[in-house]
Structure 1
Amino acid sequence: MKIAFYNHTSDMSGAEISLLLTAKHLKKAHPILFAPEGPLLQKARSQGIEVTALSSFRARMTRNPFMLIGYAMGMLLAGWKLARQLKRSEADLVHANSIRAGIMAGLFRWFHGLPVIWHVRDMPPRGFMGQLIRRFAARSAQAVIGISDSVLYAMEHESLVDKCHLVHNGVELKQADPAERRENREKVRAELETSQDAQVLAIIGQIAPWKRQEDAIEAFSTLVREGRNCVLWIVGEAKFRPENERYLAHLHERVKDLQLHNHVKFTGYREDVLEICCGADLLLLCSEDEPFGRVIIEAMSQGTPVIASRGGGVPEIIEQGRSGWMYETGHIQELTDRIRQVLDDDRLWRSLSHNGQQRAADRFSIQQTAEKVEFIYQQLLNRPGTRAYEHRQAKEMM
């Protein structure tokens, strides 16, 4: 099987990391990555993944009718260029790595003729726009993969019922021994100028209002006022939208207002997420309706306890009080209490650490993810009418 992975952007975020991990661990399929030139293609090349560079186009949501028309025309042109590339390729199937990528791949499916899978990694919009997206998916997608039950529920449409598949994100489970984890911890803390005996909290992800990094800052400020030797690492960068840049500036201002500049480290984007998790005593996730939360399983895999907001796909990962703790999104006092509880109880910390590692190993390995994805490929390509099916029939008749 030759699979055309399509990503509409070459910027790196959780979706792109998951794409590369899945492509890397396929055993029965040969991936070809179609994306604009940039960090994603550079990373793919370094991993030996075949790539095809596309021209870049980025549309944004707007109420300006003239800009909206321009974006729509740009998407049509980009979709047509993609369809021509797919038509010339030897791919058997298109695996679109987002809602937007699914729309682009489906626009001219009548021309390229390949089955299209939508891999939905974000909550689809509500209202009229969400209805349009679901209807278009029902017409253009041969399968929809959701990274959580919560995401699939948001994509619910009568014509999609038999097309939807749940495939959780997976991570590479690196079984580092205690000595290696201790070495990673010391190295990362030294690099980030953080005391080895400080209590370190980390929040990792794209800087965006819906990620609610401000909640972590507010809870953390209480711990500092209590006289604790603690540090907060805010890991990630603002990208994709101007409002994310403004939110990052707001976070810096809030840290200044609370006089936390000696306790909070803005690290920017980091590729060494597992090492960051080793360096932290606790991972926080404060998002509103997080679609899945791959950083949760990354932290779990390294034995770092997690406190996360209850919502989206998070309850599908965390067993409350056993492999992590959840709190109600936006409830700063509850978040603060949970942090204090885990940091002050060594026995609880060790229990969450052990159970979290076991949970990640049992349920969220990248090998499990890749196997489920390949099973979906085989189901689609074994149907009469697909290019792969017709090629196989032709070979059997020779």
Structure 2
Amino acid sequence: MDKVNLICLDSEGGHGGSSKSLLIALKEINQKYFNISVICKKKSWVENEYNKNKINCEIATDMPTFTSLDKLSRNLYSFLYFSLIIWPLAFRFRRKIKKYLVSANIVHFNHVNQFLIAFWIKKKFPKIKITMHIRTMPYANFFSHLQLKISQQLVDKFICITENEYEHFMSILKHTNIEKNIIFNSIEEIKINKKKYSFLKKHKSLLVGSYSNFSFYRGTDRVILLASKIPKEKLKKILFVIVGETKITKGDRVRSKNLSGCSNLEEYADKLGVKDSFVFLGHISNVEEVLINTNITLKLSRENNPWGRDIIESMFYKIPVISIGKYEGFIKNEFSGFLLKSFDLEKLVEIILEILANKNKINTMGYNARKIVCKKCDVKKNAFLLEKLWKKML
């Protein structure tokens, strides 16, 4: 059997959990059967990781993407800007990937925001098979429906990271039957410099971590709001560690008046009088080196999605997670973490103070958390499922 020529397009390029998930999966794909090339939109540490694993990786900063937004006016403006400026200026990108497409068997898209590239590829190279990861839950509006409907016409196989993305996909499209392919994000054991961030532990009894680039919907501002509600004498014993980009956009300030006058999360923490209880580390490639020095992870997303990469990595290293939502596939309340059905500041403060008073309470939760993740996110098992899916398409 000839090798499968697999081309993967990654719009994050190492600047997000989805990109890391793709890297971990592809490293385990059997290169005896696959020739893999990855094209990333951003230059970062993943380029070197791919090359170390004998996977060809190129950077294409002009890779065109379009993401469905929450408001009609913003979608109309973004689509017009994409059509008139972004797509025409991406001619170098199209020229670059053509050299791969002439021999490609399968093109895999790591995000639905690449659906218009898929449209162009299917038009130019109709025999190429297309797969696409569904890693997020787009806003339930006309543009998301249009985006997914077009994708449905182009994509041969969709891959969802949990049942939630699949069910959300179906709820937006309605009256559509899409093959259900659920393959959880994978996680791997890596060498970690445990001492690199051990200085964070000095003079603090409890370290609380949060790991995501800020947006209103990701809700990192809620961590700061929570800190402001903790009694001052107790807060002195706690350090909140924020990893990820902290910029607050104009759109974020429109959605939340609390953020007015702040250009980043550091300023918001200062505004609420809790800046001394926070350390902001920015973007870090090896988040694991931070989280192993913490006691608990907070994910207070407004999207109620307690299953992201930050959650599974924390659980893998026996760090329980406090989050919001109804999905119990990973966090089982008071078994592998704390799961609230809705954002409840009073309850969150109560949980933090309870852990501060008795950290032993979360030790067993940490072991339970790791067992769950090791079972669902086994990298070899999930790589086998991906290989099987791709091979069956040819």
The TM tier, using the shorter chain, reads: 0.7 to 0.9
Letter in 2 for 1:287: S
User: What is aligned with 1:169?
Assistant: 185
User: What is aligned with 2:387?
Assistant: 374
Q: Aligned partners of 1:299, 1:55: CA distance in 2, in Å? A: 31
Deviation at 1:205, TM superposition (A): 0.8
Q: Aligned partners of 1:16, 1:227: CA distance in 2, in Å? A: 38
Q: Aligned partners of 1:277, 1:292: CA distance in 2, in Å? A: 17
> 1:136-173: CA deviations, max 9, x gaps?
12210101111121111121146863433111111113
User: What is aligned with 1:396?
Assistant: none
Q: Aligned partners of 2:376, 2:311: CA distance in 1, in Å? A: 13
**Which of these residues, 13, 30, 50, is aligned with residue 35 of structure 2?**
30
Count of aligned positions: 369
Q: Aligned partners of 1:299, 1:240: CA distance in 2, in Å? A: 25
- Structure 2 CA distance for partners of 1:317 and 1:49, relative to 1, 3 Å: same
Percent pairwise identity: 17
Letter in 2 for 1:48: K
Letter in 2 for 1:72: S
Which runs of structure 2 are paired with 1:163-242 in the superposition (5 Å)? Answer: 163-174=179-190, 184=194, 186-190=195-199, 192=200, 194-195=201-202, 197-228=204-235, 229-238=237-246
Q: What stretches of structure 1 of length at least 5 have no aligned partner?
A: 382-398
**Which of these residues, 299, 321, 345, is aligned with residue 306 of structure 1?**
321
Deviation at 1:261, TM superposition (A): 2.1
- Structure 2 CA distance for partners of 1:110 and 1:53, relative to 1, 3 Å: same
- Structure 2 CA distance for partners of 1:219 and 1:103, relative to 1, 3 Å: same
User: What is aligned with 1:68?
Assistant: 79
For the Cα contact (< 8 Å) 2:306–2:331, is it kept in 1?
Answer: no
Higher helix share: 1
Bigger drift between 7-16 and 164-173 goes to: 7-16
User: What is aligned with 2:115?
Assistant: 102
Letter in 1 for 2:156: Q
Deviation at 1:299, TM superposition (A): 0.9
Q: Aligned partners of 2:206, 2:131: CA distance in 1, in Å? A: 44
> 1:161-186: CA deviations, max 9, x gaps?
34331111111135x8xxx8xx82x5
Q: Aligned partners of 2:270, 2:248: CA distance in 1, in Å? A: 25
Deviation at 1:259, TM superposition (A): 2.3
Q: Aligned partners of 2:133, 2:249: CA distance in 1, in Å? A: 22
Q: Aligned partners of 1:291, 1:216: CA distance in 2, in Å? A: 15
Q: Aligned partners of 2:296, 2:220: CA distance in 1, in Å? A: 15
> 1:5-40: CA deviations, max 9, x gaps?
012353511111111111111124332102346225
Q: What stretches of structure 2 of length at least 5 have no aligned partner?
A: none
Q: Aligned partners of 2:37, 2:156: CA distance in 1, in Å? A: 19
- Structure 2 CA distance for partners of 1:31 and 1:15, relative to 1, 3 Å: same
SS of structure 1 residue aligned to 2:185: coil
- Structure 2 CA distance for partners of 1:224 and 1:126, relative to 1, 3 Å: same
- Structure 2 CA distance for partners of 1:371 and 1:158, relative to 1, 3 Å: farther
User: What is aligned with 1:297?
Assistant: 312
Deviation at 1:252, TM superposition (A): 2.2
Deviation at 1:270, TM superposition (A): 1.1
For the Cα contact (< 8 Å) 2:321–2:337, is it kept in 1?
Answer: yes
For the Cα contact (< 8 Å) 2:315–2:321, is it kept in 1?
Answer: yes
Q: Does 1:352 align with 2:361?
A: no
SS of structure 1 residue aligned to 2:146: helix
Letter in 2 for 1:305: P
Bigger drift between 45-54 and 163-172 goes to: 45-54
Deviation at 1:347, TM superposition (A): 4.1
TM-score, length basis structure 2: 0.83
- Structure 2 CA distance for partners of 1:83 and 1:258, relative to 1, 3 Å: closer
Q: Aligned partners of 1:84, 1:231: CA distance in 2, in Å? A: 50
Q: Aligned partners of 1:30, 1:91: CA distance in 2, in Å? A: 9
For the Cα contact (< 8 Å) 1:138–1:160, is it kept in 2?
Answer: no
Q: Aligned partners of 2:114, 2:58: CA distance in 1, in Å? A: 15
Q: Aligned partners of 1:196, 1:87: CA distance in 2, in Å? A: 56
- Structure 2 CA distance for partners of 1:258 and 1:32, relative to 1, 3 Å: same
User: What is aligned with 2:153?
Assistant: 139
User: What is aligned with 1:394?
Assistant: none
Bigger drift between 322-331 and 338-347 goes to: 338-347
Bigger drift between 153-162 and 265-274 goes to: 153-162
**CA RMSD for the aligned pairs?**
2.9
Letter in 1 for 2:352: I
Which runs of structure 2 are paired with 1:81-100 in the superposition (5 Å)? Answer: 81=95, 84-88=98-102, 90-100=103-113
> 1:328-356: CA deviations, max 9, x gaps?
34221122222223333344211101111
> 1:48-73: CA deviations, max 9, x gaps?
32124435145576648676334124
